[in-house]
């Protein structure tokens, strides 16, 4: 299916380390146009080339040849003519002379015009670099415009470039050493609304430089809350003493999203789809960004793009956005356990208690809560016998879950108690004149509230507090009984989505335990998610499976992440979901469960408005006291209208 990326606030960029010959302008221009054509054919709107790509960076004293420099300037006219037919915007490095001074510049060229020329602010004159021998810094310029051919071209560091086709796209340009300065020009550009920063570089290689480059590019994108696109000259620039590798990078909000091959003598092209909407949404939520101000008044220059259709997104969209990369798993999960256990330990210390009560069902959530409680007690040096784990089997409890809960409590050496709720719930049904054979919402919710009643009274009995087990996914979907399992005195899983809990318990089983404990944890992970409120099937197995009712938690966690983290509208989430779950769920299934997600999310806000305290784990939180404030009476119509049109 053809996609118009601009419709979703996405721009495709290409950062290129071209094959070139030092001081051969004609050859280099041909290679630049050849690479730019390839990039255009692959859907790129903006194409970045390295520092001084027109001449080559290592020309040395050849830069003193004024006619050579003028030839380089005039070659920009050829590139301008090229862009009138290709529809791409080029950012290329070129030496420019003005008023008897030579400047190391970036030229922005689009739709047949040279839109602006930006001189380098900070010249590198350290160790192997001698730029001050040839060039003047931007602060030494005296002109705001220069003439190239028939163009009066804006000149200076006070330019940002804006495109209306991709809503919110405004970009700035800095050159190599500018990034490494104490105060990079991109700081001010970002404060003035630049969502993408382009950097033309000539960065040589030596041991340790690679990781430093990755770190500073990623860090600057995070500091600016922007995308950062970087291109450095390739191996053909290498001299007898210095090697250049052709590093090409793209970072977005602190993460390297694309990286090209290095050490090639041929042209290397690195592509990335930059989500401008995602950048702007993060900025809108950040008051620090909102109170930032640029150091200078920028000239805003319009850039025209052609609509480009592509077959799919370039960026890999993970179906599990809450989960860490495999190589980061151990540190990531250890951090979660530390956050949960320390937060609970702080609450326990503040209250001055030595006992807590938790309902255990043999399911994912109560298991995760119990593990975190044990870690908190160990942190405080408290006896685990102060952990009262209460199993409360009802009409839908299976032997599998009941047995797993008991075995786990024995393995963890906590105080285990079994209280069957079937008889007391039956009495309650008689009290309210409810027919027990009527398996409706009363039948289900009465059990949930009976369990909460027991836990609350038990906590008074032992002088402790009730630890809630409900997770972030259930809070989003309202998959809890109001004043039943929705309520506790501290919700330890409130910041953890279901997919993350499942992965976390599996990791704990592998890395923290052996034997029976590991075995039972793995079986809990494999057990179908269920509230176990409806009667079992004829074989005694779980009949009521949550995901058959409300949809796969993997999808719902995906929807939740992009709705809360980036405030995407349903059509944008649908686009990303189809990329992430291609071959797993059909478009029809994704649309069905997306509609279900929004209906439940809006209708269940009243439960979130009165939820208990619970520690925030990730950037996605639904606590009304922390990150999420929403009226319970908000209309869903605007969101459903979008979904219906998908």
Catalytic residues: 51, 120, 176
Buried-exposed string 172-183: b where 16+ CB fall within 10 A, e elsewhere: bbbbbbbbbeee
Bridge partner list, 415: 388
- Smallest CA-to-CA distance from 286 within 565, 481, 514, 559 is with 565
- Smallest CA-to-CA distance from 155 within 173, 135, 169 is with 173
Which are the contacts of 553, defined by CB distance < 8 A and separation ≥ 6? 473, 497, 498, 499, 529, 546, 547
Tell which phi-psi region holds residue 605, choosing left (phi > 0), alpha (psi between -120 and 50) or beta.
Answer: alpha
* Helix/strand/coil for 163: strand
Q: How many CB atoms lie within 10 A of CB 296?
A: 13
Cα separation of 498 and 322, whole Å? 10
Cα separation of 520 and 429, whole Å? 35
Distances (CA, A) of 365 to 4, 27, 444, 447: 41, 64, 18, 17
- Smallest CA-to-CA distance from 53 within 241, 267, 252 is with 267
Which are the contacts of 374, defined by CB distance < 8 A and separation ≥ 6? 384, 387, 412, 414
**HSE-up of residue 20 (Cα within 13 Å, Cβ side):** 34
Evaluated on CA atoms 152, 153, 154, 156, the torsion sign reads: negative
With residue 460 as reference, give the H or E element that holds it. helix 441-462
Instruction: Decide the pairing of beta strands 101-110 and 113-119.
Output: antiparallel
Cα separation of 55 and 305, whole Å? 27
CB 579 within 8 Å of CB 298: no
Cα separation of 297 and 299, whole Å? 7
Angle CA(316)–CA(320)–CA(322) in degrees, nearest 5?
A: 115
CB 496 within 8 Å of CB 502: no
* Helix/strand/coil for 62: helix
Cα separation of 563 and 299, whole Å? 34
Helices (H), 17-111: 25-41, 66-86
């Amino acid at each position: 299916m053809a996609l118009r990326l601009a419709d979703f606030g996405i721009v495709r960029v290409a950062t290129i380390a071209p094959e070139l010959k030092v001081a051969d302008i004609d050859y280099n221009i041909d290679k630049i146009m050849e690479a730019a054509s390839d990039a255009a054919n692959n859907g790129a709107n903006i194409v970045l080339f390295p520092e001084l790509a027109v001449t080559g960076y290592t020309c040395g004293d050849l830069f003193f040849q004024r006619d050579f420099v003028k030839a380089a300037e005039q070659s920009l006219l050829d590139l301008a003519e090229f862009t009138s037919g290709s529809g791409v915007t080029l950012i290329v490095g070129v030496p420019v002379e003005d008023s008897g001074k030579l400047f190391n510049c970036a030229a922005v060229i689009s739709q047949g015009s040279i839109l602006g020329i930006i001189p380098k602010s900070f010249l590198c004159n350290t160790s192997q670099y001698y730029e001050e021998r040839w060039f003047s810094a931007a602060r030494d310029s005296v002109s705001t415009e220069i003439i190239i051919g028939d163009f009066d071209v804006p000149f200076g560091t006070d330019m940002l470039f804006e495109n209306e086709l991709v809503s919110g796209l405004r970009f700035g340009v800095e050159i190599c050493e500018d990034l490494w300065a104490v105060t990079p020009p991109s700081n001010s550009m970002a404060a003035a609304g630049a969502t993408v920063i382009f950097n033309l570089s000539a960065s040589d290689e030596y041991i340790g430089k690679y990781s430093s480059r990755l770190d500073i590019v990623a860090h600057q994108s995070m500091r600016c809350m922007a995308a950062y696109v970087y291109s450095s000259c390739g191996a053909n620039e290498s001299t007898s003493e210095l090697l250049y590798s052709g590093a090409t990078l793209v970072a977005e909000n602190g993460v390297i999203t694309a990286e090209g091959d290095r050490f090639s003598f041929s042209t290397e092209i690195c592509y990335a789809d930059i989500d401008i909407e995602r950048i702007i949404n993060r900025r809108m939520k950040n008051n620090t960004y909102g109170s930032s101000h640029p150091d200078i008044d920028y000239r805003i220059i319009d850039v025209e793009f052609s609509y480009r259709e592509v077959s799919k997104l370039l960026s890999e969209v993970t179906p599990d956005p809450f989960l860490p990369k495999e190589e980061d798993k151990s540190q990531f999960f250890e951090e979660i356990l530390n956050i949960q256990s320390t937060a609970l330990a702080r609450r326990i210390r503040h209250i001055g208690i030595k006992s807590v009560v938790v309902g255990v069902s043999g399911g994912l959530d109560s298991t995760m809560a119990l593990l975190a409680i044990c870690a908190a007690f160990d942190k405080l040096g408290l006896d685990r016998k102060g952990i009262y784990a209460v199993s409360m089997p009802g009409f839908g409890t299976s032997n599998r879950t009941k047995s797993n809960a008991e075995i786990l409590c024995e393995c963890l050496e906590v105080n285990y108690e079994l209280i069957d709720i079937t008889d007391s719930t039956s009495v309650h049904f008689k009290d309210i004149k409810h027919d027990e054979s009527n398996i409706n919402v009363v039948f289900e919710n009465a059990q949930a509230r009976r369990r909460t009643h027991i836990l609350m009274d038990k906590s008074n009995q032992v002088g402790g507090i009730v630890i809630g087990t409900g997770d972030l996914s259930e809070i989003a979907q309202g998959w809890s009984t109001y004043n039943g399992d929705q309520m506790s005195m501290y919700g330890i899983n409130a910041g953890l989505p279901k997919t993350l809990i499942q992965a976390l318990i599996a990791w704990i089983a592998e890395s923290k335990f052996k034997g029976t404990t590991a075995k039972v944890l793995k079986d809990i992970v494999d057990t179908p998610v269920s509230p176990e409120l409806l009667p079992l099937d004829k074989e005694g197995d779980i009949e009521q499976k949550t995901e058959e009712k409300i949809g796969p938690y993997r999808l719902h966690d995906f929807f939740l992440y992009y709705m809360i983290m980036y405030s995407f509208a349903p059509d944008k989430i649908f686009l990303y979901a189809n990329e992430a779950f291609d071959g797993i769920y059909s478009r029809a299934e994704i649309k069905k469960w997306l509609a279900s997600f929004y209906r439940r999310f809006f209708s269940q806000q009243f439960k979130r408005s009165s939820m208990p305290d619970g520690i925030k784990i990730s950037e996605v939180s639904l606590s009304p006291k922390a990150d999420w404030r929403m009226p319970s009476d908000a209309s869903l119509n605007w969101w459903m209208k979008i979904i219906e049109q998908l």
